[in-house]
């Protein structure tokens, strides 16, 4: 079974630009969560989608948004990029929304904002 | 909100030695996950503990959950260079949201 895939793997943008990251979950998984990982803040939850609806949201500004498609693939968008948005963005998938269900992570997209 | 504290922050061990990493929660643990991460890469799921007193093993890695202490420990026996990486504990937040510890960097000297 193929794992979680993320594209692109690496991205360089400049301040003020916007970026869209993509995540394809494991086949059969309907929940997709996004996390931001930085050396200073560690791994932080961004948001979670299930059946095309955002179910949970972390403490990030409105510049960070996402969506999920009917095939469970998800995209994350960051507008008006800031230097501090440079990070490894990870998505994870699980079968359902139920708590205590293992989330499987993709390889991540490393974003560098210049 | 729940916070997870991992100790030690980093660890250097000689190949073949045993080691333990701890994860302590500020709140009651309902589910505790251990992941391993190679620098700059995604997280690899190691194991999940759900009940107090539960202990799971995978190859040379054993994890335990002490519900009363709100703590989990990850023990590696006879460490190998392949064990090197960052070990992260995560706990169930609200719904499917995971809260993570800061991670423990493990280096194994051969």
Measure B18 CA to nearest chain A CA, in Å.
26
Interface test with A, best of B27, B86, B97, B99 (most A CBs within 10 A): B97
For residue B79, name the pLDDT band (cuts at 50, 70, 90): very high
pLDDT tens-digit map of A56-88: 899 999 999 999 999 999 999 999 999 999 999
Long-range (24+ apart) CB contacts under 8 A made by B48-56 are B48/A100, B48/A102, B50/A100
Low-confidence ranges of chain A (pLDDT < 70): 1, 97-100
Q: What is the pLDDT of residues B5-24, one digit of tens each?
A: 999 999 999 999 999 999 99
CA atoms within 13 A on the CB side of A4: 32
Tokens describing residue A4: 């979680």
Q: How far is B77 from chain A (nearest CA, A)?
A: 25
Structure tokens at A27: 């086949």
CA count, 13 A, side-chain hemisphere, B72? 34
Interface test with B, best of A99, A106, A107, A110 (most B CBs within 10 A): A99
pLDDT at B27: 87
Distance from CA of A49 to the nearest CA of B (A): 10
Q: Minimum mean pLDDT among B24-33, B34-43, B83-92: which range?
A: B24-33
Would you say residue B95 has pLDDT above 70?
no
The DSSP symbol for A10 reads E
Q: Which residues of A touch B97 (CB under 8 A)?
A: 33, 45, 48, 56, 58
When the pLDDT of each residue in chain B is averaged and rounded to a whole number, the result is: 91
Pairing of strands B85-92, A10-13: unpaired
- Percent of chain B whose pLDDT exceeds 70: 96
Q: B77: closest CA among B11, B6, B20, B9?
A: B20
- From the list B26, B31, B3, the residue with the least C-alpha distance to A94 is B31
Mean pLDDT for B44-63 is 90
> Does position B58 have pLDDT exceeding 80, yes or no?
yes
Residue partners of B90: CB distance under 8 A and separation at least 6:
A43, B4, B32, B33, B34, B35, B98, B99, B100, B101
Contact A55, A49 (CB under 8 A): yes
What distance in Å separates the CA atoms of residue B78 and residue B44, rounded to the nearest whole number? Answer: 20
Residues of A in contact with B43 (CB under 8 A): 90, 92, 105
Q: Tell me how far the alpha carbon of residue B23 is from its chain's centroid.
A: 7
**Neighbouring residues of B78: CB distance < 8 A, sequence distance ≥ 6:** B16, B17, B18, B60
Peptide bond into B8 cis (omega under 30): yes
pLDDT score recorded for residue B88: 97
Q: Are B96 and A102 an interchain contact pair (Cβ–Cβ within 8 Å)?
A: no
- Distance separating alpha carbons of residues B34 and B100, to the nearest angstrom: 10
Query: For residue B94, which of A44, A99, A50 has the smallest C-alpha distance?
Result: A99
Which residues face B57 on adjacent strands? B62
DSSP helix/strand/coil, B82: helix
């Amino acid at each position: 079974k193929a794992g979680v895939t993320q594209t692109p793997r690496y991205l360089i943008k400049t301040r003020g630009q916007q970026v869209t990251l993509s995540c394809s979950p494991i086949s059969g998984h309907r929940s997709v969560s996004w996390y931001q990982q930085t050396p200073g803040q560690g791994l932080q939850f961004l948001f979670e989608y299930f059946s095309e609806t955002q179910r949970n949201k972390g403490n990030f500004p409105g510049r960070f948004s996402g969506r999920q498609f009917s095939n469970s693939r998800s995209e994350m968008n960051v507008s008006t990029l800031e230097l501090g948005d440079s990070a490894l963005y990870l998505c994870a998938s699980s079968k359902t929304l139920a708590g205590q269900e293992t989330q499987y992570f993709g390889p991540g997209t490393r974003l560098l904002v210049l | 909100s729940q916070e997870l504290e991992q100790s030690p922050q980093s660890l250097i061990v000689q190949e073949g030695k045993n080691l333990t990493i701890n994860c302590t929660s500020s709140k009651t643990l309902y589910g505790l996950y251990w992941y391993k991460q190679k620098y700059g890469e995604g997280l690899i799921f190691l194991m999940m503990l759900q009940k107090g007193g539960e202990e799971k093993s995978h190859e040379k890695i054993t994890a335990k959950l002490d519900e009363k202490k709100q703590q989990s420990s990850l023990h590696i026996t006879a460490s190998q260079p392949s064990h090197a990486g960052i070990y992260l504990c995560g706990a169930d937040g609200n719904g499917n949201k995971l809260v993570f510890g800061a991670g423990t960097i493990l280096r194994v000297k051969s």
